[in-house]
Amino acid sequence: MAKKITSKDFDYVADYVKEEYDRRKGNRKDLNHVIKEIDRQVDMRPCLTHKLDANGAKDPTKAWMPEVELPLQAEALETLTSDVRSMMFPDSGPWFSAHAAMTDEYLARADFSAIVAGDENEVPTQINQDNADKLVHGLLESWHYESVLRANMDLINAESISYGVGIGRARKVKKSVIIDTAAGLKRADKFIPVLIPRSIKETYLDDREHILMNEGYMVGPLQIFTRKMMLEDLKSQANGSRDPSSDGGWMPGAVSDLEADEKGFVELLEAEGDFVIPRKTTGSIFSPATIVTVACGKNDIKVVRVRFRKSPYNSVITFPYHRERVDSAYPTSPLRKGMPLQAAAVQQMMYLDIVSCLNALPPIGYDRNDMWFAENGGPIIHPAAQWGTIGDINLHQIGNPAALFEVYQGYLRQYADVVGMHQARLGAQTLSHTTAYSKEVELQRGAVRTVDYVRSTLQGPMVKWLTMEYEMGLEDMKNETFYIDSYRGFV
């Protein structure tokens, strides 16, 4: 199929990917702003807009005002990610089950007694359905350990809780290992399937899926990744394989024509999905399971890499938290719901701090004609201060700290209700619930949405990943030794 594609077709694909990227980037401009604001809140970097003047410059008269940020979002992200981890990967037992197809061909080929590492562990010497299931389960868990799946899932879940959707990309990764042979220790390359975390910040999801379904068509989604790269580094990589496999497909001629920006960078757009290249005379070209990399230079756009997936599955796996709109590819999340509430609580806390400070050290009015005040530049306020004057001193009370504190507490309660971060869930005993049973009930109510996310993730994206992982891993597996916990031994 690649021989049929002309340079004109590549130009069309490059323009199409760039236009689609620009359209999606423009459509999610508001979401990008929300993502930046959530990151600021989680990092607890104070917002300093209250210390600026009308022109956006620093106002020296406001330098005394506080610079703080509440830990609500950071605390929620830590707690929710921890809860998801404990629910998704429990210590009480395995988090998934495997079932092998026990065909006659499988039984004829499998010699269980030959692959068991000794019988001292009372490992059965005849294979049955349970043995075959444990082999598959043990093999997958071995890959999970080598690919640090649990740590990768922490990052994916954190993005889902923060921004509404986590992104994982499935691919085989080459790993150098040391094997013990009769001739001694040898280094060898081993390919293992890995679920790689990708950030939604550099990923633009396909938002046309349901539009096409309404017309009676269903094609694979086209996901677009973006990143900046030095042009010289790109030219070096483009000298690699031209074979359109998972690690090849480079087009060095297209890279040589690019011009970098002022800092020497070009923007890379990697689009994965099903492509349709229209033609007027010879018929359109349909290219499924294709990964196209487009480089955007200073004055030109070129396709610099084309790859064809062996697997029918799209390598991009999405982990949505909660979908609520048909016309948007981006679900919502606890931190997106809590973002405006934290901003409001911080603003109210700022007002409370400012008014409390003004009440503790109130502005003072005095008679400017008083000679003692004139010589000392006004009254100097400190404990046991003595003012040698008979002039009147007026203290100016500004604001009502008690009323502001009530409003501040209201925002904190509203945040806890929306995000589910009540005191019981954070490990504290609430004032209204004094019994352990009441605290447990409150904890369970707060965790309902987290349980729902874990359940939907295990039944959806994780099933897809396990299926892809098994098929990808078997392609390059030759002789594998791994541990099966139930046998307390290696096979």
- What does the DSSP 8-state code read for residue 176? E
CB 17 within 8 A of CB 224: yes
Structure tokens at 485: 């916990």
What's the rounded Cα separation, in Å, for the pair 147 and 142? 9
Following DSSP, what letter does each residue of 328-341 receive, concatenated?
A: -S--B-HHHHHHHH
> Looking up tokens 């009015």, which residue turns up?
365
Query: Which residue in 149, 251, 139, 178 sits closest to 480, CA to CA?
Result: 139
SS3 of residue 239 by DSSP: coil
Which value, in Å, is the radius of gyration of the alpha carbons in the chain?
31
| Residues 6 or more apart in contact with residue 302 via CB below 8 angstroms | 10, 14, 251, 254, 255, 257, 258, 294, 295
SS3 of residue 198 by DSSP: strand
Ramachandran area for residue 122 (φ above 0: left; ψ -120 to 50: alpha; else beta): left
Q: Which amino acid is at 389?
A: T
What's the rounded Cα separation, in Å, for the pair 133 and 138? 9
Q: Which amino acid is at 22?
A: D
What's the rounded Cα separation, in Å, for the pair 24 and 17? 11
| Residues 6 or more apart in contact with residue 347 via CB below 8 angstroms | 50
Structure tokens at 116: 């068991």
Q: What is the pLDDT of residue 339?
A: 96
Burial class of residue 9, CB neighbours in 10 A (0-12, 13-18, 19+): middle
CB 117 within 8 A of CB 483: no
What's the rounded Cα separation, in Å, for the pair 4 and 21? 26
Q: What is the dihedral of CA 40, 45, 51, 57, to 10 degrees?
A: -70
What's the rounded Cα separation, in Å, for the pair 84 and 452? 10
Q: What is the pLDDT of residue 437?
A: 46
CB 472 within 8 A of CB 104: no
What's the rounded Cα separation, in Å, for the pair 307 and 315? 13
Q: What is the pLDDT along the chain (491 residues), one digit of tens a residue?
A: 444 778 888 899 999 999 999 999 999 999 999 999 999 999 999 998 888 888 888 888 888 888 889 999 999 999 999 999 999 998 888 899 888 888 777 777 766 555 555 555 555 556 778 888 888 888 899 899 999 999 999 999 999 999 999 999 998 888 776 666 666 666 677 888 999 999 999 999 998 765 566 666 666 788 999 999 999 999 999 888 888 876 789 999 899 889 999 999 999 999 998 888 887 777 788 888 899 999 998 888 999 999 988 877 889 999 999 998 888 889 999 999 999 999 999 999 999 998 888 887 777 777 777 777 777 777 766 666 667 676 777 777 788 889 999 999 999 999 998 998 876 666 555 545 444 544 455 455 567 788 899 999 999 999 999 999 998 888 877 777 788 877 777 77
Axis-axis angle for helices 436-446, 448-459 (nearest 10): 50
Structure tokens at 6: 């002309």
Q: What is the pLDDT of residue 316?
A: 93
- What does the DSSP 8-state code read for residue 396? -
Structure tokens at 372: 């003692």
Q: What is the pLDDT of residue 148?
A: 92
Axis-axis angle for helices 7-27, 29-43 (nearest 10): 60
Provide the sign of the torsion angle of the four alpha carbons 115, 121, 127, 132, taken in this order: negative
Axis-axis angle for helices 448-459, 72-88 (nearest 10): 50
Structure tokens at 104: 């006659």
What's the rounded Cα separation, in Å, for the pair 16 and 10? 10
Up-side HSE of residue 12: CA atoms within 13 Å toward CB? Answer: 12
- What does the DSSP 8-state code read for residue 315? S
CB 297 within 8 A of CB 258: yes
What's the rounded Cα separation, in Å, for the pair 308 and 315? 12
Phi, psi of 365 (to 5 degrees): -105, 135
In the chain, count H helices and then E strands: 16, 12
